[in-house]
């Protein structure tokens, strides 16, 4: 099997660590539960892919690397995702180093989906929450899995009528299909 461009090596006692890599560089992450690193990363990737509503997009987020801070910046094109991680001092004012990865969009989506599927299978949703102290990002994972597999299982494909939702129509999804995707 080919090495993944994204891997989680450890989830334990409020810590998550792993790496991202392209052909030239590696970015290691080792974050505490003080922020929700995985949620932020998945949301940034979905934003770069352009498959998330504009008001929810997030291309920059901060991660704690005590005593430093790391600013993650994620941008995308039709086929590539560029991720730059810039390390700063604890004040977030002085940049100390930066590493940039350029990843094939489809490979990144596939590797994220496979790795997160393995994390979910290994820990389960409760075990993930118990070890990482955050909820498993199920909806973001299913969205990435859909994109990686070219399916539309969790797309917002169900309209909830005004009568069902106290006078305001809303978008929904089919939980039965989402559950079967796990």
Q: Render pLDDT for 107-162 as a digit per residue (tens, 0 to 9).
A: 999 999 999 999 999 999 999 999 988 999 998 999 999 999 988 766 656 788 88
Residue with tokens 């994220």: 112
pLDDT tens sequence across 11-70: 998 889 999 999 999 999 988 888 889 999 999 999 999 888 778 889 999 988 767 789
| pLDDT at 2 (0 to 100) | 56
pTM of the complete model? 0.84
String of DSSP letters for the chain: -PPPSEEEEEEETTEEEEEEE-SS-EEEEEEETTS-HHHHHHHHHHHHHT-S-GGG---EEEEEETTEEEEEEEEE-SSEEEEEEEEE-TTS-SEEEEEEEEEEHHHHHHHHHHHHHHHHHHHHHHHHHHHHSS---HHHHHHHHHHHHT--SSSS-EEEPTGGGTT--EEE--HHHHHHH-
| pLDDT at 1 (0 to 100) | 41
Domains and CATH numbers, the chain: 6-136 (3.30.2450)
| pLDDT at 173 (0 to 100) | 75
| pLDDT at 156 (0 to 100) | 59
pLDDT tens sequence across 71-94: 999 999 889 999 999 999 877 788
Strand order in the sheet with 95-104: 60-65, 68-76, 80-88, 95-104
């Amino acid at each position: 099997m080919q090495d993944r461009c994204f891997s989680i090596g450890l989830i334990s006692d409020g810590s998550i660590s792993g790496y991202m890599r392209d052909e030239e560089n590696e970015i290691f992450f080792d974050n505490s539960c003080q922020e929700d690193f995985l949620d932020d990363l998945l949301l940034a990737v979905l934003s770069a892919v352009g498959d998330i509503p504009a008001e929810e997009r997030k291309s920059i987020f901060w991660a704690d690397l005590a005593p430093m801070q790391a600013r993650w910046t994620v941008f995308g094109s039709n086929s590539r995702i560029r991720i730059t991680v810039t390390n700063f001092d604890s004040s977030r004012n002085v940049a100390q180093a930066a590493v940039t990865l350029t990843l094939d969009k489809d490979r990144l989506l596939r590797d994220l989906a496979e790795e997160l599927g393995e994390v979910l299978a290994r820990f389960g949703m409760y075990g993930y929450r118990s070890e990482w102290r955050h909820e498993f990002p199920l909806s973001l994972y299913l969205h990435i899995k859909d994109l990686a597999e070219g399916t539309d299982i969790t797309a917002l494909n169900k309209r909830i009528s005004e009568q069902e939702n106290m006078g305001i129509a809303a978008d929904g999804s089919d939980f039965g299909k989402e559950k079967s995707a796990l």
